[in-house]
Amino acid sequence: MKIAIQGIQGSFHHIVAEEFFGKSIILKECLSFTEIPELLKNGAVDSAVMAIENSIAGAILPNYALIDEYNLNIEGEIYLNIHHHLMALKGQNFDDIKEVWSHPMALLQCRKFFRDHPNIKLVEESDTAEVAKRIKEKNIKGIATIASKKASKIFDLEVIKDDIQTNEHNSTRFFILKKGKNTPYHKSKMNGKKNKASIKFITKHNKGSLAEVLDIFAKHEINLTKIQSMPIVDKPWSYAFFIDLIIDDFKLYENALHLIGKKVNHLRILGEYHQNSLQL
């Protein structure tokens, strides 16, 4: 299978791709999230991995927008504990480091560590593992990066500080994505392995519209695990809502969607998939 990831081998997206699909995959490396939907749309890859939220930094709203804009389908999720390690060329020590280059999310997730070391300059880059590769190939001294242990092994760098993330329970949720379906609803019955869904809806411009939708979920005993609002670009101060929910009873879920469809201006199922649990 050809799998698109943000970053290169050794990145956290690479780790997730191997966890979900196994090691016998062909990676399509992308240095920006915006490249991924086009690859799916054109059939250049079979699936893709995309980070969607982090336990410290929160939701990645531009990625919700990409999933929506390109009508992508969510076929799975992976929660991954993120361990950030500071690494540099072998023979370098912490006192040699003048700058740290890494992805802005990685820098954000390690902000407390760098607050304690204000003499180190932080430089935002497109990918953690790509910087590790560059440091090795160009023999760059005085520069470190934040990346996974996998990256340090692939690019033969020395880890000079372990686990520098602000919170030891730093985790990221990733979506496994495929090219979207044309139908607004999935007609086939789910098998027992699919017990979670992600949906998007746009409420009508009436008072209490959102409350009515949430009340339908409550009356059908459907547990919501996340609700995320996102501005509608061409309609200022209007919002779309993205909701994740647990499906304990398919019939109740189906009935709830039927009722909600009558209450909102737009409803789309983004994906029905197996709930993944975080391994601490």
- Indicate if 76 and 91 belong to the same structural domain: no
Which of the four pLDDT bands, split at 50, 70 and 90, describes residue 72? very high
129-140 pLDDT, tens digit per residue, is: 999 999 999 999
Residue 185 domain-assigned (yes or no): no
- Indicate if 139 and 77 belong to the same structural domain: no
Domain interval for residue 24: 2-81+171-178
Instruction: Quote the CA–CA distance of 275 and 280 in Å, as a whole number.
Output: 16
- Indicate if 71 and 93 belong to the same structural domain: no
At residue 89, does pLDDT exceed 50?
Answer: yes
DSSP state of 275: P
Domain count, the chain: 3
Tell me what pLDDT residue 191 has.
53
- Indicate if 42 and 93 belong to the same structural domain: no
At residue 84, does pLDDT exceed 70?
Answer: yes
Residue 143 domain-assigned (yes or no): yes
Residue 190 domain-assigned (yes or no): no
CATH number of the domain where residue 54 is located = 3.40.190.10
155-192 pLDDT, tens digit per residue, is: 999 999 999 999 888 899 999 999 976 544 444 455 55
Tell me what pLDDT residue 188 has.
46
- Confirm if 66 and 34 have CB atoms less than 8 A apart: yes
- Indicate if 41 and 96 belong to the same structural domain: no
For residue 37, give the H/E element and its range: helix 35-41
Copy the structure tokens of residue 53: 């939220």
Residue 26 domain-assigned (yes or no): yes
DSSP string, 230-252: EE-TTSTT-EEEEEEEE-S-HHH
- Indicate if 233 and 208 belong to the same structural domain: yes
Residue 96 domain-assigned (yes or no): yes
Residue 66 domain-assigned (yes or no): yes
206-260 pLDDT, tens digit per residue, is: 888 999 999 999 999 999 999 999 998 888 888 899 999 999 999 999 999 999 9
Report the predicted TM-score, pTM, of the whole model to 2 decimal places: 0.89
Residue 116 domain-assigned (yes or no): yes
Torsion over CA: 173, 179, 183, 187 (sign): negative
Copy the structure tokens of residue 124: 């935002």
Tell me what pLDDT residue 189 has.
52
